Structure 1
Amino acid sequence: MKRIFAVLAMLVCVIGGITGILLLGNDEGDDVSTKKVQDAAGGDHGITEISSKESVNTEKKPVDTTETTEDAVSELVDKTMAEMSLHDKVCQMMFVTPEGLTGTDDVMVAGDATKQALQAYPVGGIIYFANNFDNVDQTRDMISNTQSYSKIGLFIATDEEGGRVNRIMDTLGTTYIGPMYDYKDDGPDAAFENAKTIASDMSALGFNLDFAPVADVWSNPDNTVIGDRAYSDDYAQAAELVGSAVKGFQDGGVICTLKHFPGHGDTAEDSHYSSAYVNRTKAQIMADEMQPFRTGIDAGAELVMVGHLIVPDIDELPSTLSYKIATEMLRGDMKFDGVAITDSMEMESIADNYGVADSAVMAVQAGMDMLLQPADLAVAVNAIVTAVQNGDITEPRIDESVRRILTLKAERGLLE
Structure 2
Amino acid sequence: MNRLQKIAQLFSPAAFVHDSEEEIQKLEQLIKSQQIGGITFFHSRHSAAANFEGRQEKLTFDNSLEKLKSLIKRYQSISKTPLLISIDAEFGLAMRIEQTPQYPYAITLGQLPIEMEPLIFESGKLIGEDLKAIGIHLNLAPVADCNTNPNNPVIGYRAFGDDKEKVSRFALAQYKGMIAGGVAACYKHFPGHGDTAVDSHLGLPIIDKTKEQLLQEELYPFIAGIKQGVDMIMVGHLAVPALTKGERLPASLSKHVLKDLLREELGFNGIVISDALNMKAVSELYPTKGELEWKAFEAGNDILCFSENITEGIHYINQNATDEQIDLSYQRIYNLKNKLGLNTASKPTFSKLNDNKANTFNQIVAQQLFNTHWDKAQIAHLLKSKDKITFIAAFNNLEDLKTPEFNNLNFRETLQLEDLNQQKLDLITEEQACILGIFLPSAKPINQFGMDQASIDKIKALSQNPNVLIIHFGNPLAAKTWQTPQSKAILLHAYQNLPEFQSQAWKHFRSTL
CA offsets per residue over residues 331-383 of structure 1, 9 Å max, x none? Answer: 12222111101111111111112344222221121111111111222222222
- Relative distance call for 1:223 and 1:145 in structure 2 (3 A) is same
Distance (Å, rounded) in 1 between the aligned partners of 2:22 and 2:231: 29
Q: Say whether the 8 Å CA contact 2:252–2:258 is kept in structure 1.
A: yes
1:327 aligns with 2:327: no
CA positional deviation for 1:155: 1.1
CA positional deviation for 1:294: 2.6
In structure 1, the partner of 2:275 is: 343
In structure 1, the partner of 2:104 is: 178
Q: Say whether the 8 Å CA contact 2:10–2:302 is kept in structure 1.
A: yes
In structure 2, the partner of 1:87 is: 4
In structure 1, the partner of 2:226 is: 297
Distance (Å, rounded) in 2 between the aligned partners of 1:263 and 1:371: 19
Choose which of 210, 233, 249 in structure 2 pairs with 1:281.
210
In structure 1, the partner of 2:328 is: 400
Distance (Å, rounded) in 2 between the aligned partners of 1:375 and 1:135: 23
Point out where structure 2 has 5 or more consecutive residues left out of the alignment. 46-60, 345-513
- Relative distance call for 1:230 and 1:111 in structure 2 (3 A) is closer
Distance (Å, rounded) in 1 between the aligned partners of 2:276 and 2:215: 24
- Relative distance call for 1:205 and 1:109 in structure 2 (3 A) is farther
Distance (Å, rounded) in 2 between the aligned partners of 1:321 and 1:202: 30
Deviation larger for 258-267 or 315-324: 315-324
Distance (Å, rounded) in 2 between the aligned partners of 1:296 and 1:198: 20
CA positional deviation for 1:116: 3.3
Distance (Å, rounded) in 1 between the aligned partners of 2:18 and 2:129: 29
Q: Say whether the 8 Å CA contact 2:94–2:101 is kept in structure 1.
A: no
In structure 2, the partner of 1:46 is: none
CA positional deviation for 1:111: 7.6
Describe how 1:230-249 pairs up with structure 2 within 5 A: 230-249=159-178
Describe how 1:58-137 pairs up with structure 2 within 5 A: 84-98=1-15, 106=19, 114-131=27-44, 134-137=63-66
- Relative distance call for 1:233 and 1:92 in structure 2 (3 A) is same
- Relative distance call for 1:362 and 1:245 in structure 2 (3 A) is same
Describe how 1:240-259 pairs up with structure 2 within 5 A: 240-259=169-188
- Relative distance call for 1:349 and 1:135 in structure 2 (3 A) is closer
- The count of aligned residue pairs is 321
Q: Say whether the 8 Å CA contact 1:163–1:229 is kept in structure 2.
A: no
Q: Say whether the 8 Å CA contact 1:242–1:295 is kept in structure 2.
A: no
CA positional deviation for 1:112: 6.1
Choose which of 323, 336, 342 in structure 2 pairs with 1:414.
342
Root mean square deviation of aligned Cα = 2.3
- Relative distance call for 1:150 and 1:164 in structure 2 (3 A) is closer
Distance (Å, rounded) in 2 between the aligned partners of 1:366 and 1:201: 34
In structure 1, the partner of 2:140 is: 211
Point out where structure 1 has 5 or more consecutive residues left out of the alignment. 1-83, 388-392
1:380 aligns with 2:313: yes
Q: Say whether the 8 Å CA contact 1:108–1:138 is kept in structure 2.
A: no
Q: Say whether the 8 Å CA contact 1:108–1:139 is kept in structure 2.
A: no
Distance (Å, rounded) in 2 between the aligned partners of 1:163 and 1:400: 32
Q: Name the SS for the 1:267 alignment partner.
A: coil
CA offsets per residue over residues 308-335 of structure 1, 9 Å max, x none? Answer: 1111112112111110101111112222
Distance (Å, rounded) in 2 between the aligned partners of 1:202 and 1:163: 8
- Relative distance call for 1:174 and 1:165 in structure 2 (3 A) is closer
Amino acid across the alignment from 1:351: S
Amino acid across the alignment from 2:253: L
Amino acid across the alignment from 1:127: T
Give the TM-score normalised by the residue count of structure 1. 0.72
Work out which of the two has the higher radius of gyration on C-alpha atoms and give 1 or 2: 1
Q: Name the SS for the 2:19 alignment partner.
A: coil
Q: Say whether the 8 Å CA contact 1:163–1:180 is kept in structure 2.
A: no
Distance (Å, rounded) in 2 between the aligned partners of 1:339 and 1:221: 30
Choose which of 237, 248, 259 in structure 2 pairs with 1:308.
237
Q: Name the SS for the 1:128 alignment partner.
A: strand
Q: Say whether the 8 Å CA contact 2:125–2:178 is kept in structure 1.
A: yes
Distance (Å, rounded) in 2 between the aligned partners of 1:111 and 1:185: 42
Distance (Å, rounded) in 2 between the aligned partners of 1:386 and 1:207: 33
Q: Name the SS for the 2:241 alignment partner.
A: coil
CA offsets per residue over residues 286-318 of structure 1, 9 Å max, x none? Answer: 222222213333444332110111111121121
- Relative distance call for 1:203 and 1:320 in structure 2 (3 A) is same
- Relative distance call for 1:231 and 1:155 in structure 2 (3 A) is same
Distance (Å, rounded) in 2 between the aligned partners of 1:303 and 1:161: 15
Q: Say whether the 8 Å CA contact 2:273–2:305 is kept in structure 1.
A: yes
Distance (Å, rounded) in 2 between the aligned partners of 1:403 and 1:107: 35
Distance (Å, rounded) in 2 between the aligned partners of 1:326 and 1:335: 11
Distance (Å, rounded) in 1 between the aligned partners of 2:172 and 2:22: 36
In structure 1, the partner of 2:297 is: 364
Distance (Å, rounded) in 1 between the aligned partners of 2:25 and 2:92: 35
Distance (Å, rounded) in 2 between the aligned partners of 1:265 and 1:305: 14
Q: Say whether the 8 Å CA contact 2:290–2:310 is kept in structure 1.
A: no
Q: Say whether the 8 Å CA contact 1:192–1:245 is kept in structure 2.
A: yes
Q: Say whether the 8 Å CA contact 1:110–1:145 is kept in structure 2.
A: no
1:353 aligns with 2:285: yes
Distance (Å, rounded) in 2 between the aligned partners of 1:314 and 1:111: 40
In structure 1, the partner of 2:120 is: 191
CA positional deviation for 1:105: 7.7
Identity %: 34
CA positional deviation for 1:202: 1.1
Q: Name the SS for the 1:353 alignment partner.
A: coil
Distance (Å, rounded) in 2 between the aligned partners of 1:150 and 1:191: 36
- Relative distance call for 1:246 and 1:397 in structure 2 (3 A) is same
CA positional deviation for 1:98: 2.7
